Amino acid sequence: MNIEESTKKEGIHIIIDYLSATFPFKNFDDDLEKKVVEETVLLISQFMGFSLEEVTEDEYATARYRYQYQIGDSIKLRLLGPELKTGMPSCHLELRGQGCREFENQGEKTFYDLLFFLMIRLNANITRIDIAIDDYDGSIVTQNMIKEALDSRKYTTSFKKKSYKLIGSDEEGWSIQFGSHLSTQMLVIYDKKKEQLSKNNECEQDYWLRYEMRFTKEKAYNVCFTLLDHKDDFQNYVYGLLYEMIDFKEDNAYSEVDQYKVETISWWKKFLHEVKKSQIIKYKVHETTLERYLNWVTPILTFYFLFRYIYNAHDMKKFLLNLLNDIQDYFSKMDPKRLLKLNKLLKETGQPHLKKNELNLIFQEVEEFLAREELPF
- The average confidence (pLDDT) of the chain is 89
Query: 247, 241, 181: which is closest to 216 by C-alpha?
Result: 181
**Residue 138: band (very low, low, confident or very high) from pLDDT cuts 50, 70, 90:** very high
Q: What is the pLDDT of residue 1?
A: 42
Q: Tell me the sheet residues that pair with 263.
A: none
Q: Is the pLDDT of residue 319 over 70?
A: yes
What is d(CA 18, CA 129) in angstroms, rounded to the nearest whole number?
A: 5
**pLDDT number for residue 28:** 67
Residue 2 has pLDDT above 70, yes or no: no
The distance of Cα 293 from the centroid of its chain, to the nearest Å, equals 22
Give the lowest-confidence range in 21-30, 134-143, 198-207, 238-247: 21-30
Q: pLDDT digits over 329-375, tens only?
A: 777 777 887 888 888 878 767 678 888 888 888 888 888 888 887 75
- Residue 172 and residue 176: Cα distance in Å, rounded? 13
Which of 135, 98, 100, 121 has its CA nearest to residue 47? 121
H-helix segments, the chain? 33-47, 97-106, 111-116, 143-151, 192-198, 217-228, 234-245, 266-271, 290-311, 316-331, 336-348, 356-373
pTM: 0.75
